[in-house]
Amino acid sequence: MLWLTVIGVRAAYLQIYKGDWLSHKAAVQYEREITLSGKRGTIYDSRHEALAVSIETTSIAAYPGMIENKGSAALELAKALKMNSKNLNRKLNTKRSFVWIKRPATPKEVAACKKLNLKGIGFLPEHSRFYPNTTLAAQVLGFTGIDGHGMEGIEHLYDNELKGAETTVTVFKDALGRGFDSDRWAAMKQSGNNLVLTIDRHIQYITDRALADAVTEHKAVSGMAVVMSPQTGALLAISHYPFFNPNAYAKSDRPVWRNRVITDQFEPGSTMKIFSAAAALDSGLSQSGSIFYCENGKYRVGGHMVHDTKPYGWLSLQQIVKFSSNIGAVKLVEKVGPGVLYDHLRKFGFGLRTGVDCPGESAGSLSNYKRWTTVDTGAIAFGQGVSVTALQLITAASSIANDGVMMKPYVVQAVTDPKGQAVRTFAPEILRQVITPQTALNIRRIMHSVVTEGGTGVKADVSGYSVSGKTGTAQKIDASGNYAPKLYVASFLGFAPTDQPAIAVLVIVDEPQINYYGGLVAAPAFSRIVRETLGYLNVEPTEEYDWKKLRVSREEKVNG
Which pLDDT does position 106 carry in this prediction? 84
**Looking at the structure, do residues 552 and 423 belong to the same domain, yes or no?**
yes
Q: What is the DSSP track for 356-378?
A: -SSTT----B---GGG--HHHHH
β-strand pairing of 43-44 with 194-197: parallel
| Number of other residues whose CB lies within 10 A of the CB of residue 106 | 12
**Looking at the structure, do residues 136 and 245 belong to the same domain, yes or no?**
no
In a domain, 8, yes or no: no
Which pLDDT does position 560 carry in this prediction? 39
Tell me how far apart the alpha carbons of residues 555 and 544 are, in angstroms, rounded to a whole number: 20
Last residue of a domain, one of 174, 197, 220: 197
Position 559, amino acid: N
**Looking at the structure, do residues 369 and 493 belong to the same domain, yes or no?**
yes
**Looking at the structure, do residues 215 and 87 belong to the same domain, yes or no?**
no
Examine the pLDDT at 364 and tell me if it is beyond 90: yes
In a domain, 223, yes or no: yes
CA 515, chain centre distance (Å): 27
Last residue of a domain, one of 197, 221, 247: 197
SS3 427: coil
**Looking at the structure, do residues 424 and 447 belong to the same domain, yes or no?**
yes
**Looking at the structure, do residues 225 and 257 belong to the same domain, yes or no?**
yes
**Looking at the structure, do residues 36 and 121 belong to the same domain, yes or no?**
yes
What CATH number is attached to the domain comprising 186?
Answer: 3.90.1310.10
- Answer for the pair 503, 229: CB distance below 8 angstroms, yes or no: yes
What are the tens digits of pLDDT across the range 6-49?
787 777 666 766 666 555 555 455 555 656 667 899 999 999 99
What are the tens digits of pLDDT across the range 166-217?
666 565 554 444 444 444 445 445 789 999 999 999 999 999 999 999 999 9
**Looking at the structure, do residues 81 and 114 belong to the same domain, yes or no?**
yes
Count of domains observed in the chain = 2
In a domain, 11, yes or no: no
In a domain, 372, yes or no: yes
Which pLDDT does position 551 carry in this prediction? 45
In a domain, 9, yes or no: no
The CB-based long-range contact list for 64-69 (8 Å cut-off, 24+ gap) reads 64/91, 64/92, 64/93, 64/94, 64/95, 64/96, 64/97, 64/99, 64/120, 65/29, 65/97, 65/120, 66/29, 66/119, 66/120, 66/173, 66/177, 67/92, 67/118, 67/119, 67/120, 67/121, 68/119
**Looking at the structure, do residues 174 and 281 belong to the same domain, yes or no?**
no
What CATH number is attached to the domain comprising 285?
Answer: 3.40.710.10
What are the tens digits of pLDDT across the range 497-535?
999 999 999 999 999 998 999 999 999 999 999 999 999
- Cα–Cα–Cα angle for 334, 340, 346, nearest 5°? 125
* Residue 356 belongs to domain spanning: 201-558
Q: What percent of the chain has pLDDT over 90?
A: 64
Last residue of a domain, one of 168, 197, 226: 197
Q: What is the DSSP track for 188-200?
A: GG----EEEES--
CA nearest neighbour of 349 among 435, 428, 264, 286: 435
Q: What are the catalytic residues?
A: 270
In a domain, 16, yes or no: no
What are the tens digits of pLDDT across the range 307-344?
998 999 999 999 999 999 999 999 999 999 999 999 99
**Looking at the structure, do residues 519 and 392 belong to the same domain, yes or no?**
yes
Phi, psi at residue 494, to the nearest 5°? Answer: -175, -170
**Looking at the structure, do residues 181 and 250 belong to the same domain, yes or no?**
no
Average pLDDT in the 473-477 region? 88
CA 472, chain centre distance (Å): 22
Distances (CA, A) of 56 to 48, 101, 247, 418, 479: 21, 18, 15, 16, 48
In a domain, 205, yes or no: yes
**Looking at the structure, do residues 246 and 154 belong to the same domain, yes or no?**
no
Which pLDDT does position 556 carry in this prediction? 43
In a domain, 66, yes or no: yes
What are the tens digits of pLDDT across the range 485-500?
889 999 999 999 999 9
